[in-house]
Amino acid sequence: MEPSVENSGSGVQVKDGLAEKCQKLFLEFLEEFQNPNGEILYLPDAEELIRPERNTLVVNFTNIEHFNQQLATTIQEDYYRVYPYMCRAVRHFARDHGNIPPSKEFYVAFSDFPTKQKIRELSTARIGTLLRISGQVVRTHPVHPELVSGTFLCLDCQSVVKDVEQQFKYTQPSICKNPVCSNRMRFMLDTNKSRFVDFQKVRIQETQAELPRGSIPRSVEVVLRAEAVESAQAGDRCDFTGALIVVPDVSVLAIAGTRSETSSRVTGREGFQAEGIQGLKALGVRDLSYKLAFLACYVAPTNPRFGGKELRQEDQTAESVKNQMTVQEWEKVFEMSQDKNLYHNICSSLFPTIHGNDEIKRGILLMLFGGVGKTTMEGTSLRGDINVCIVGDPSTSKSQFLKHVEDFAPRAVYTSGKGSSAAGLTAAVVRDEESHEFVIEAGALMLADNGVCCIDEFDKMDLKDQVAIHEAMEQQTISITKAGVKATLNARTSILAAANPIDGRYNRSKSLKQNVNMSAPIMSRFDLFFILVDECNEVTDYAIARRIVDLHCRNIESVQRVYATDEIQRYILFARQFQPKITHEAQEFVVDQYKRLRQRDAGSSKSSWRITVRQLESMLRLSEAMARLYCSDEVHPKHVKEAFRLLNKSIIRVDSPDISFDQDQPDSQDITDHDMLGAESQGTNGTSGTEGTNGHPGKAVDVDQQPIRSEKSIAAAQPAFKMTFSEYRRISNLLVLHMQKLEDLDDEGSLKKSELINWYLQEMEGEIDTEAELIAKKSLIEKVLHRLIHYDHIIIELTKTGLKKVGGEGEEPRTEEDPLLVVNPNYMLDD
Amino acid sequence: MMPSSHDWINNPMGVVEGMFAQRNSNPQWGSKVVEYFKDKLKEKEAHTWVPSLNDVPLHYLKPDSLVKFRCLIQDMFDPEFYMGVYETVEPSNNAKVLKCGKYKDVTECGVDLISRNTVTSERQTFYCVPVPGESQWAKDSYACSSQARVVPSTSYVPSRQKRSYEEDDDMDTQPQKQRELHIEHHGNGDSKRQETEAPSSQTTTPSDCSSHLDLNFPLPGERGPACLVKVYEESDSFKLNDTIEVYGILSMSPVLSGVAEEKDLASSLLDPVESMETVEEQRAHSPPASLVPRLHMLFAKRLQHNNPLLPSAPLEDNSTVFSSFLSEITSVRADLLAYLTHILLGDGLAAEYLILHLISSVYSRRDVLPLGKFSLNLSGCPTTSPYTDKLYTIIQQLVPCSYRLGMSLQNMNSLRLVPRKDYVANRLVSGALQLSNNTSLFLDETQLEQGQLDTSGVRNVTALGNLISWQKVDYDFNYHKMEFPCNINVLISSEGRSLLPSDCQVHLQPQVTPSNMEEYFSTFLLAQMSSQLNRYRVYLTVARTLDYSISDEVTKAVEDDFVDMRKDDPQSISAEDLHRLLVVARLLSLSLGQTTLSRDCWMRAKHLEVLRTSRTEQQKSVNGNEP
């Protein structure tokens, strides 16, 4: 490294004033820079360097910027040129403060370099300047010693030539230093007296996030030296600070700096020595191209932007995320957080090509935000991830939802239940073919750690495989005990599952549990269940038709996004850093709502599952996600309200989709509601026509086989009576009980419809005060009866009584206006 | 007339250097060079004078001459830096001369490496292979349209210098003769090849060496030279799997090859940088130039289609050719329909659908959803006779690129369908699904038998499923998967319903049962004139590239229609069905040469679908393969 030796070949060595000034300033910096406590910051580190295994001093680049902006700029722009001088400064510094062996080499490394380049941006203009690049390590080579400075023995006169600097090439002294000896070629390297440094090559590759679509990721060789070796493993995402260089020819650099590689170049040009040269090369034919390499002095794990490895690394804070954004990016995020209509806007921007299904979109969105993971006092951790399941008829864009999420969310894995076993989902122990060692192979759930695992055709998965992912869904870990390997692995993932109903179509008359081939424990682990039913009514049909036709007409406008995908991604990353706490009012509200859910649950027996603590937990998670969405530190009642509404939509609606309207829900704009409306209004005026056959007494229709087509109807806009499902059940039970009682008493006890209505109104007498109420009750009971007869087939209408000779003689031939009613013999009163 | 005007083909470097010398430190000189060559090629037929790497054997080509290459970008290597401008020193008088390093790999004379005038520039390297699965007729047709000096092999003298003179004399007559010869030859549809134009003669050399050098062709059994294309301008505009025609300067200096040989283990310890590349990398990145020549790109044309019978320029520019063709489109369609009906054993409906399938193409993507794809599952194929074989041969004769994948268990378990990144050699190892746009992929499920699929088998089936459903292939990058969109027409022939998804399933209903399949086909094939086949080929390509729109009026009608159908019977049509119906209507319109959807066409499409689904209904009771 001493200039005196360097000019062994080329004779005159230009003194590099700038570099030497830089060395001086840098030494000053090391000597003087103090931390806030007034201590010299780098002194303890430098004293550490006395230990034999240490040789690198890590300097925080921002400190240099604080100390002397000009010095920082010089280092940045002429990094490669001044680097040896800085190393020399470190050596002087260390030597001043400790007793170190004179021959020891020292290196400097810069951490926290502010700007970051993409691999794709490395161009000729950047050669030699200080850069930070990040990438995924794809290949590492073994560490081996590199000759830094050689000591040679002249084979002719036995004199020793010391300190021949080596850079990338094995370089012999060009001439023996003994003036009388003219040996230029015959030298022997004295390895004991030469100095070596650890050297390692790794290759890094562009991360997916940086890659333009349709291109192969670029890679670059990184040369690591000294203490930086072995700090990156294949598969890691790391930041490398250093400089881009061209190899093997460093001539361009040599001009900029004073680094002299002339000796090696001389041999190269004359072409007789060291290199094994082909005939053609000897004639001066040479390749015009160089290879690139990145000479890194410092390696650090990647500070994740979105798409980085750690989506929700624990030590990330909102502040640190903000710092990683550019000003424009941050402004956009801020603007979004101020958006009054944010919830809706993000939803519509996230799935622009999927029509309707707003609740599902909302559910998925909240899943992306996630709840707050908690640890109880006993040390049990409660998951914050929200699991969502979509059950639906074929061809209702379930897979599209999943594909979208896979496309959008970082670390999302898409897998199909049909094709993957439990092992493929969780983790498998496999024997490595070469080493015969057991290794753990990550399954989809592990790969999606801190992300989303999309499982299509969840129901097609073996039941025992479904069970295997229990643990992952609640405890968020995967344990393996197999073939002598015992491990617990993290699988902190949200699960987005899609399942087909058992019979191919969702059967509304059955409960969710009966519709889906899933075990109850698994089902309870989903926070939200959504049912996608192939709805038929004009409004939605038009909307669907419009969407599809638009798709085919190249109407670009049909895809409207308020926010771009990357904006939402950034926003989610930022918002996820919030850990909202539940306020007192929200607490009370939660308790309130939970109580209500429980009570309703007690009333209805047809529920798919009982409302338990799990649903309470889900509600909390959803509320937290909701609060995060608005970047709020606290969970307010309004957040809980929306969470409750979603939860309500997802469970309650599923259980009793038949006629009920939640009176407490003013927001009833979704498709299901429209449809209910239709069904109901048909009930009022649809006495004639096609339903006649269904009502035929000879046809004993089983309750369970009720087709969905009963929903086909006209979406009348007129308001209809609302009735909760439990209310409907109550009335129907009342009627059936009454009728059965009568039938038991008397075989001929068939009741006329009018009689039944009258009886019911008498029963209700106590509740009726005005005439208007009486009329309302009357039409209500008529509708309930209509439904019981035509849809649920609990009561059978005997119209053509003459055929069966059960009715009175008088009414025989005509179609009854006041038919006889009997309870379907197959009907069993439940509970 | 020829010698002077052909200098730019024989010695393009002369042109480049001339312009470099006159550049007057104008940084724009590079684009002037490109302009010059583009101008030259604009001349009528000028591009046919340029020899093509696809049909002229490498050893007949002169190094540093202008050549063209029709290829697929199989891999993109890392950028490399080179000396864009360098200074040479004349040893005799120490005179320094600035030279241009663009468009070449090596220089002959002593370079002053420490000159301050050296300019380092950057270029990009693409690994290109001939278009995979290119049909023989397409190759032949390209070859015989070439007027580059292709002289029958006997008169071919390796000494380029001499030959070029010789040839200049009879340049006027030679191509003429050539073409006649070709047409005649081409007429009987035989694939016997002429030696002069045979890329296959390449294989004599590679086949010997290929044992240790894998040229990385996507499909097994492919031939032809692979090429390292050096790209100087706008390298970002090229994407993987693009089909391009490169015009560039050929470089085959042996210096580029030998790097791998001199390898001294002892020195690698001392010179770590010398071992910057492993042996595998060197083999992949610097293969011998005699096998994998370097091509310095002047410019490249992106190929919209790979049909030699049509001009490669965008169709709007050839409106005259085009309109004349449109006038007879209905008659061609009728003929083709009859032809395909015969091949599909008299099943007219299947033939209709086959036409629709053959002209389908992904024209747009909405988020994850590819639009315009129309994969066809032809179920009910006879398995007893080599029927699928014959069917594929027919398709091969109609489309420019195709590949048949027999879905036997062994194939599924052993084939590498998905490209994989090899980090040791630092290259993308190709797989059978790395295909150019609009390649016809013929999946023969009749070859499938019962048995065990192993891990790679499952992976392969999944990849095929993804390809069909989403028109994308997830390339394996070891640490992660990366999806590359594609546009491949997948036709599945099967006995029952295929295990793979498809956009549309047609159950074949043979009207005739030929006793001897072989005979049935061979007599029929002979009857087809090659001119007739050419009409079909042009028809299929043109129909695919037509523009298409739906008027507001028809849009409304379609919407109403959908709602009405739902009203009558909600089960009759789902959103998915409407989606398919619109694709069918689109393809049907295009197949008739109509660029907007008419009501008539819409009704016809509906009718087709009804016929098709009624067949499937019948079939449903027979096999229990329904979900």
A173 vs A154: CA distance, rounded Å = 9
The arithmetic mean of pLDDT across residues B608-625, rounded, is 71
pLDDT given for residue A562 in this prediction? 73
Q: How confident is the model at residue B524 (pLDDT cuts 50, 70, 90)?
A: confident
A318 vs A571: CA distance, rounded Å = 11
pLDDT given for residue A372 in this prediction? 79
CB contact under 8 A, A124 and B120: yes
pLDDT digits (tens, 9 = 90+) for A415-452: 776 655 555 666 666 665 555 656 556 666 666 667 78
Alpha helices in B110-202 (DSSP H): 136-145, 160-169, 174-187
Q: How confident is the model at residue A283 (pLDDT cuts 50, 70, 90)?
A: very low
pLDDT given for residue A566 in this prediction? 76
Nearest to B508 by CA among B331, B296, B352: B352
Of A459-463, A670-674, B24-28, B405-409, minimum mean pLDDT range? A670-674
Q: How confident is the model at residue B386 (pLDDT cuts 50, 70, 90)?
A: confident
Nearest CA in chain A to B373: A552
Give A491 or A439, the one with higher predicted confidence: A491
Number of helical H runs and strand E runs in chain B: 22, 20
Give A55 or A597, the one with higher predicted confidence: A55
Q: Is the pLDDT of residue A591 over 60?
A: yes
DSSP assignment of A689-743? GGGGGTT-TT----GGG--GGGG------S----B-HHHHHHHHHHHHHHHHHHH
pLDDT given for residue B128 in this prediction? 92
CB contact under 8 A, B550 and A552: yes
pLDDT digits (tens, 9 = 90+) for B117-162: 778 888 888 999 999 988 888 888 888 877 665 444 343 444 444 3
Helix (H, G, I), strand (E, B) or coil at B227: strand
Average pLDDT, chain A: 68
Q: What is the pTM of this model?
A: 0.69
Gap between the terminal Cα atoms of chain A: 92
Residue B165 contacts A where some CB pair is shorter than 8 Å = no
Residue B570 contacts A where some CB pair is shorter than 8 Å = yes
Peptide bond preceding A248 in cis form (omega within 30 of 0): yes
Q: Is the pLDDT of residue A761 over 50?
A: yes
pLDDT given for residue A611 in this prediction? 67
Min CA distance, B229 vs chain A (Å)? 14
Q: How confident is the model at residue A712 (pLDDT cuts 50, 70, 90)?
A: very low
Nearest to A348 by CA among A619, A48, A559: A559
Q: Is the pLDDT of residue A185 over 50?
A: yes
pLDDT given for residue A746 in this prediction? 64
Please say whether the beta carbons of A351 and A401 come within 8 A.
Answer: yes
The arithmetic mean of pLDDT across residues A407-418, rounded, is 72
The arithmetic mean of pLDDT across residues A400-416, rounded, is 76
A444 vs A136: CA distance, rounded Å = 20
pLDDT given for residue B304 in this prediction? 82
Q: How confident is the model at residue A307 (pLDDT cuts 50, 70, 90)?
A: very low
Partner residue facing B273 (CB), from A217, A248, A397: A248
B505 vs B493: CA distance, rounded Å = 10
Q: How confident is the model at residue A718 (pLDDT cuts 50, 70, 90)?
A: very low
The arithmetic mean of pLDDT across residues A637-664, rounded, is 60
pLDDT given for residue A708 in this prediction? 36
CB contact under 8 A, B480 and A208: yes
pLDDT given for residue A678 in this prediction? 36
Residue B19, amino acid: M
CB contact under 8 A, B582 and A549: yes
Among A126, A286, A397, the strongest candidate for a mutation testing the B interface, having the largest count of B CBs within 10 A, is A286
Within the 341-360 window of chain A, which residues sit less than 8 Å (CB to CB) from chain B? 352-353
Give A337 or A170, the one with higher predicted confidence: A337
Helix (H, G, I), strand (E, B) or coil at B488: strand
B241 contact residues in A (CB cutoff 8 A):
214
- Its sign, for the CA torsion B553, B558, B561, B563, is negative
pLDDT given for residue B523 in this prediction? 74
B492 vs B501: CA distance, rounded Å = 10
Residue B622, amino acid: V
**Whether ipTM exceeds 0.95:** no
pLDDT given for residue B101 in this prediction? 81
Nearest to B536 by CA among B140, B137, B185: B137
The arithmetic mean of pLDDT across residues B321-326, rounded, is 70
CB contact under 8 A, A287 and B255: yes
pLDDT given for residue B441 in this prediction? 92
pLDDT given for residue A581 in this prediction? 83
Partner residue facing B484 (CB), from A205, A214, A251: A214
Alpha helices in B212-308 (DSSP H): 265-270, 279-285
Nearest to A570 by CA among A764, A221, A329, A362: A329
Residue A212 contacts B where some CB pair is shorter than 8 Å = yes
pLDDT digits (tens, 9 = 90+) for B267-310: 444 444 445 566 777 777 777 777 888 899 888 888 888 888 87
Q: How confident is the model at residue B354 (pLDDT cuts 50, 70, 90)?
A: very high
User: At what angle are helices B575-591 and B348-358 packed, to 10 degrees?
Assistant: 90
The arithmetic mean of pLDDT across residues B215-238, rounded, is 84
Min CA distance, A370 vs chain B (Å)? 24
Residue A162, amino acid: K
pLDDT given for residue A437 in this prediction? 59
B246 vs B242: CA distance, rounded Å = 12
Q: Is the pLDDT of residue B380 over 50?
A: yes
Q: Is the pLDDT of residue A800 over 70?
A: no
B14 vs B6: CA distance, rounded Å = 12
Min CA distance, A811 vs chain B (Å)? 35
Average pLDDT, chain B: 76
B377 vs A643: CA distance, rounded Å = 45
pLDDT given for residue A747 in this prediction? 59
Nearest CA in chain A to B101: A288
How many Cβ atoms sit within 10 Å of the Cβ of residue A164? Answer: 23
Percent with pLDDT over 70 in chain B: 79
Token pair in block for residue A773? 């109420």
CB contact under 8 A, A542 and B559: yes
Of B408-422, B514-528, B544-558, minimum mean pLDDT range? B514-528
The arithmetic mean of pLDDT across residues B17-46, rounded, is 79
Alpha helices in A310-462 (DSSP H): 318-324, 327-338, 342-350, 358-369, 398-408, 422-425, 444-447
Min CA distance, B112 vs chain A (Å)? 9
Q: How confident is the model at residue B355 (pLDDT cuts 50, 70, 90)?
A: very high
Strand runs (DSSP E) across A555-699, as ranges? 581-582, 634-635
pLDDT given for residue B263 in this prediction? 41
Percent with pLDDT over 90 in chain A: 0
- Give Cβ neighbours of residue B25 (< 8 Å, ≥ 6 apart): none
Please say whether the beta carbons of A229 and A143 come within 8 A.
Answer: yes
Nearest to B333 by CA among B591, B529, B595, B534: B591
pLDDT given for residue B114 in this prediction? 66
